[in-house]
Amino acid sequence: MNTYFALFLIATFASLIITPLIRRFCERFKLLDVPTDGRRVHTNAVPRLGGVAIYASLVLALSTLPLVSNLLTQSLWSHTSELFVALVPASLVLLLGMYDDLRGTNAAVKFIGLGAIASLFYAMGGRIEVLAVPFVGTIHFHPVLGFLITVFWLVAISNAFNLIDGMDGLAPGAALFASIVIFIVSLSGDNPLMIVVTLVLCGSLAGFLRYNFNPASIFLGDSGALFVGFLLAALSVLGTQKATTAVAVITPILAFGLPVVDTGVTMARRLISGRPIFQGDGEHIHHMLLARGWSQRRVVLILYGVCAVFGLLAALSTKTSSPVTGLVLFVIAVAVIVAVGHLRYHEMDELRAGVKRTVGDRRVRVANNIRVRRASLALSKASNLNELFEAIRQMLEFEEFAYANVQLGQPGRAEVNERAFKASEQRRPMQRIELRNGRIVWSWKREGVDEDEVIGSNDFWCFRFPLSKEGVEWGWMNLYRPLNGAPLLLDMNYLAGILRTELSEAAARVLQSFEKPKTSGAVPLRMTTGKLAG
């Protein structure tokens, strides 16, 4: 136990000393993170390459092990190969991140590089070959599938930590909580190598947080975020390779809870909105919390609490049965979905509205569409204005609109329009129909609606479509809805397509029936009887 404590102190003090040295080095050679876009939270240029300080502190602390001879160091000799399996690929990831910090590179190069390094990790013996999934049981993977899952896990977790490295102290803090979880799990599994490496990593991260917490004087950079993420992912694989319980799949996921959730939400958002998956944006979880007006420190402390809850659940999952662990994971998933739903993501709001439209409003929408179809059929059979306007009135009973008016008649054909209007009055007097400026005008309003408050009001929007047939104008129809009304549960294409066409044809058919027949100016032929000339 004294050796464990000493290793933690060495890593912590080494990080406290090395970090400011790296910071001065970056300042001298202008290796700074300059805020050039809206995604960055900081406003001043800040030194990067903080990952070098964490890496140097970790290596320095581990280098003291050969200087000590006790039961712990003796037991570690049999695990030396595993230590190199984790550190060698992680060191390459550090170099990849440093290249990105110093020279800059695109997402494709980073993913290819991480994939190649993850393949090296698999070739050196770090493999996911067996998993125990709740409610399913133990699954043995084919070597090809095991290789793909291993590479995916390493690359995904590395980038997950890189994605949340957008606020002072967030990524190192999340990594610290994940390291503590793996440390606790390693203690319960009596794995001395995992205990030592995670303990040293905890010390390095704790010392670095002294300078990275808001206001940060140095950043992790891609070198630090990718290195820490890859090392933790590798340790989770090595620490659970021989596990036969649900800890093999549940514990690592919960240990990296915040990075995994943020990455999952980010990928889902970009897929829903049709944006490139690897295109950066300023809508990560911490950005959305900042948008509420919270300070960086408050956001980070709240997210630390989230990491602590995930970590506690991960530690408890090692002591529970597979069904119980699966139930806990389900409850956590529901809680995450509810929490993310309150972050005001446009994609989530639209997805929720889509579900409501599909499940809750589908019956009403179908009924309204059917009503429009029936009105269109009635219009196709209308032979007078009474039947025409009655079909429209019955359609409007679904109360999706507050007010409607129709104007029928061709310009310069006032006599025809007047004859049609008088004919409609003879058949059945109709309300809200009049002859105005030589055209027939009909209106409808929902109960409680004042016509004068609708026309010309800024509180209503109007949908207007012209009535025409074969290029001849026959009038128009206006439909009004309040701007703050509920969503329209109707396919507007039915109104603009089927209904408009049938209404145009009905208007033309009815009005043309009142046109006087044209007479010829020729003398009519008079028929006589008589004998045919021989």
Per-residue pLDDT tens for 449-468? 888 888 878 899 999 999 99
207 in a structural domain:
yes
Per-residue pLDDT of 204-258, as tens digits, reads 999 999 999 989 999 999 999 999 999 999 998 987 765 544 445 677 888 899 9
Are residues 406 and 450 in contact, defined by beta-carbon separation less than 8 angstroms? Answer: no
Query: pLDDT tens digits for 265-308?
Result: 999 888 887 788 877 788 899 989 998 889 999 999 999 999 99
- Residue indicated by tokens 């896990």: 153
CATH code where residue 469 lies: 3.30.450
Residue 349 shares a structural domain with residue 409: no
Give the separation between CA 179 and CA 181, rounded to whole angstroms.
Answer: 5
Q: Across all residues in the chain, what is the average pLDDT?
A: 86
What's the pTM value of the predicted model, to 2 decimals? Answer: 0.73
Q: Residue 526: pLDDT band by 50, 70, 90 thresholds?
A: very low
Report yes or no on 21 lying in a domain: yes
**Residue 257, both tokens:** 């809870």
What is the mean predicted confidence (pLDDT) over 178-206?
A: 90
* 411/530 Cα distance (integer angstroms): 52
Q: Is residue 133 part of a domain?
A: yes
CA distance 328 to 320: 10
Euclidean distance between CA atoms 219 and 78, whole angstroms: 36
Residue of 135, 154, 173 lying closest to 328 (CA atoms):
135
Distance CA 523, CA 464 (A): 50
Task: Indicate the range of 436-440, 470-474, 498-502, 523-527 predicted with least confidence.
Answer: 523-527
Q: Residue for token digits 């039947």?
A: 387
Predicted confidence (pLDDT) per residue in 310-344, tens digit:
998 888 877 655 567 667 777 888 888 888 888 87
Does the residue 382 lie in any domain? yes
Classify 30 as helix, strand or coil.
coil
One domain, residues 182 and 249: yes
Any domain includes 529: no
Statement to judge: residues 298 and 447 lie in one domain:
no
- Residues 138, 176 share a domain: yes
415 has a pLDDT exceeding 50: yes
Return the number of other C-beta atoms located less than 10 Å from residue 155's C-beta. 22
Give the whole-angstrom CA distance, residue 379 versus residue 495: 13
185 and 231 share one domain: yes
Residue 433 lies in a domain: yes
How many domains does the chain divide into? 2
For range 136-152, the mean pLDDT: 88
pLDDT score recorded for residue 61: 95
Which residue among 310, 335, 354 closes a domain? 354
Instruction: Report which residue type is found at 77.
Output: W
Angle at 521 between CA 516 and CA 523, to 5 degrees: 125
Same-domain status, 347 and 367? no
**Does the pLDDT at position 60 exceed 90?**
yes
Within-domain flag for 534: no
176 phi and psi, to 5 degrees?
Answer: -65, -45
Last residue of a domain, one of 328, 354, 380: 354
Those residues whose C-beta lies under 8 Å from the C-beta of residue 390, and which sit 6 or more positions away, are: 378
Residue ranges making up the domain that contains 279: 2-354
